[in-house]
């Protein structure tokens, strides 16, 4: 017997613990839409169990040539290097702490197995159905909404609409994938997926998340083009007919959606009157941020200096409006902090995802892997979604599933 290759009791214990990590990732998918605290605890356990193992070289070798991991690390390092020219180091460190969630991605990738991915997605979908069910119960006044509602009058329990709507869009896409794009799905699964897609789509339009609702319509177009991928003319024809019809129908059926659309139009029409409206503020945030970008086009103002620099420009240009701490646009935020280099780094992450997805022969990776960066590209126009905790975790979770090569 080769003594070198003989495992000690401790090694055996650690090996068994390490095998539990895919189960923790499944649990992570279940709690991700339900609880920040539980998701953080499970993520910490996953990291600790991974650190306790001894075969780091093997794991790291799996990701050595992964372009997404490289772009994520460069993006994070840029925030670290950006401290060199920031004036507000304390805020810079706070930004780095938030963006450090992205470092979970390679660890999650090393832990995920192909066998555990479908279960993890199933756990996530189960949690979304729980969230939607509670949302409907509050909307119908079956349970008292005042005791559970999360801000802004939306019938939501676990997170606000800014985060919940993108979660819903992803969940609806997954349902449509199994309904229309998964060649292995049987009729039973397709029927179940269709029911889930309808239920979650209705849930989307009883809340007020405009960014999520826009991404919903974008997602529908993505599904149409993926379904008719062998006939782009037919895909374009269906999209041109179906999208306006869907928007028109939703506008006339959903009072919530109708009110939000009318409000957005009104806010755009009255922009410039000095009102603190949602759309008006976002326009002001962008215009003021462009002034900062013009003064610092290449390297930006540094990590965490956005709020300090924005306050100066806001006082000069729009003193009647409040000074924001982030521009509600991920692209603008990176341009302010790091100039063209920052924007290039952010876009390279989305490019890496698209490139990996198109190289895969696995339907889930090929289709969902393309949809995820497009959907995030859209919602990041309205908020800094890779700075928010919930949506960054969502991005990490599905990126770990979709952009790796399984053995």
Q: pLDDT digits over 40-67, tens only?
A: 999 999 888 888 765 667 777 778 889 9
What's the rounded mean pLDDT across residues 25-32? 93
Question: In the prediction, which pLDDT does 371 show?
Answer: 97
Helix 36-52 and helix 21-31, axial crossing angle in degrees, nearest 10: 170
Residue 1's pLDDT band (boundaries 50, 70, 90)? very low
Question: In the prediction, which pLDDT does 4 show?
Answer: 43
Count of all residues that appear for the chain in the document? 407
Question: In the prediction, which pLDDT does 2 show?
Answer: 46
Q: Assess if residue 262 is contained within a domain.
A: yes
Distance CA 89, CA 213 (A): 37
Closest CA to 340 of 373, 285, 297: 297
Q: Enumerate residues 6+ apart whose C-beta is below 8 A from 246.
A: 217, 220
Q: Assess if residue 407 is contained within a domain.
A: no
Looking at per-residue pLDDT, the higher value among 53 and 117 belongs to 117
Q: Assess if residue 2 is contained within a domain.
A: no
pLDDT digit string, tens, across residues 348-362:
999 999 999 999 999
- Distances in Å between the Cα of 221 and the Cα atoms of 180, 215, 311, 401 are 13, 10, 39, 23
Looking at per-residue pLDDT, the higher value among 164 and 260 belongs to 164
Q: Assess if residue 395 is contained within a domain.
A: yes
pTM: 0.90
Q: Assess if residue 23 is contained within a domain.
A: yes
User: Token digits for 246?
Assistant: 């869907």
Mean pLDDT of the chain, nearest integer: 87
Closest CA to 23 of 48, 10, 44, 42: 42
User: Which residue spans within 24-131 are E strands per DSSP?
Assistant: none
Question: In the prediction, which pLDDT does 209 show?
Answer: 74
| b/e code 216-231 from CB counts within 10 Å (16+ = b) | bbbbbbbbbbbbbeee
Q: Assess if residue 245 is contained within a domain.
A: yes
Looking at per-residue pLDDT, the higher value among 172 and 147 belongs to 172
Residue 407's pLDDT band (boundaries 50, 70, 90)? low
Exposed/middle/buried for residue 262 (C-beta within 10 Å: 0-12, 13-18, 19+): exposed
Q: Assess if residue 197 is contained within a domain.
A: yes
Residue 3's pLDDT band (boundaries 50, 70, 90)? very low
DSSP code at position 157: S
Question: In the prediction, which pLDDT does 320 show?
Answer: 81
Question: In the prediction, which pLDDT does 7 show?
Answer: 47
DSSP 307-333: HHHHHHHHHHH-TTSPPPSS-S-HHHH
What percent of the chain has pLDDT above 90? 55
What percent of the chain has pLDDT above 70? 90
Distance CA 156, CA 139 (A): 9
- Look up the domain containing 140 and give its range: 7-402
pLDDT digit string, tens, across residues 396-406:
999 999 998 86
Distance CA 334, CA 343 (A): 6
Question: In the prediction, which pLDDT does 12 show?
Answer: 56
Residue 162 confidence (pLDDT) above 90: no
**CB contact at 8 A, 117 and 398:** no
Looking at per-residue pLDDT, the higher value among 235 and 269 belongs to 235
Residue 196 confidence (pLDDT) above 80: yes
**Domain count along the chain:** 1
DSSP code at position 180: I
pLDDT digit string, tens, across residues 271-324:
665 556 777 788 888 889 999 999 888 899 999 888 999 999 988 888 888 888
Question: In the prediction, which pLDDT does 144 show?
Answer: 77
User: Token digits for 196?
Assistant: 């889930």
Distance CA 211, CA 150 (A): 17
Residue 149 confidence (pLDDT) above 50: yes
Q: Assess if residue 280 is contained within a domain.
A: yes
Report residue 146: phi and psi, to 5°: -60, -25
| b/e code 71-94 from CB counts within 10 Å (16+ = b) | bbeebbebbeebbeebebeebbee
Q: Count other C-beta atoms under 10 Å from residue 344's C-beta.
A: 15
Residue 13's pLDDT band (boundaries 50, 70, 90)? low
Helix 21-31 and helix 9-19, axial crossing angle in degrees, nearest 10: 30
Question: In the prediction, which pLDDT does 281 show?
Answer: 80
Q: Enumerate residues 6+ apart whose C-beta is below 8 A from 373.
A: 349, 350, 351, 353, 354, 357
Question: In the prediction, which pLDDT does 207 show?
Answer: 84
């Amino acid at each position: 017997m080769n003594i070198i290759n003989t495992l000690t009791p401790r090694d055996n214990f650690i090996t068994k613990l390490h095998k539990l990590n895919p189960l923790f990732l499944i649990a992570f998918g279940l709690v991700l839409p339900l609880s920040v605290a539980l998701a953080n605890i499970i993520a910490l356990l996953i990291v600790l169990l991974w650190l306790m193992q001894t075969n780091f070289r093997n794991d790291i070798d799996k990701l050595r040539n992964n372009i997404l991991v490289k772009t994520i690390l460069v993006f994070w390092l840029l925030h670290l290097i950006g401290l060199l020219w920031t004036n507000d180091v304390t805020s810079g460190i706070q930004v780095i702490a938030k963006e450090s969630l992205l470092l979970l991605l390679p660890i999650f990738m090393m832990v995920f197995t192909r066998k555990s991915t479908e279960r993890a997605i199933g756990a996530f979908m189960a949690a979304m159905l729980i969230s939607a069910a509670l949302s409907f119960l509050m909307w119908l006044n079956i349970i008292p909404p005042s005791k559970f509602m999360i801000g802004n009058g939306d019938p939501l329990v676990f997170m606000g609409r800014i985060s919940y709507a993108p979660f819903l869009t992803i969940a609806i896409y997954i349902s449509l994938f199994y309904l229309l794009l998964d060649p292995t799905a049987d009729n039973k699964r397709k029927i179940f997926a269709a029911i889930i897609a309808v239920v979650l789509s209705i849930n989307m339009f009883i809340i007020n998340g405009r960014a999520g609702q826009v991404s919903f319509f974008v997602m529908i177009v993505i599904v149409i083009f993926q379904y008719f991928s062998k006939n782009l003319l037919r895909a374009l024809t269906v999209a041109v007919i179906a999208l306006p019809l869907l928007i028109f129908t939703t506008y006339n059926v959903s009072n919530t959606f109708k009110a939000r659309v009318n409000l957005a139009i009104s806010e755009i029409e009255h922009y410039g009157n000095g009102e603190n409206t949602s759309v008006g503020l976002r326009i002001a945030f962008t215009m003021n941020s462009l002034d900062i970008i013009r003064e610092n086009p290449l390297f930006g103002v540094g990590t965490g200096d956005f709020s300090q620099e924005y306050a100066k420009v806001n006082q000069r240009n729009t003193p009647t409006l409040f000074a924001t701490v982030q521009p509600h646009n991920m692209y603008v935020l990176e341009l302010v902090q790091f100039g063209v280099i920052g924007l290039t780094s952010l876009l390279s992450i989305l490019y890496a995802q698209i490139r990996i997805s198109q190289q895969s022969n696995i339907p889930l990776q090929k289709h969902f892997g393309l949809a995820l960066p497009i959907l995030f590209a859209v919602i990041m126009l309205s908020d800094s979604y890779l700075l928010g905790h919930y949506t960054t975790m969502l991005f990490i979770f599905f990126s770990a599933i979709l952009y790796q090569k399984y053995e």
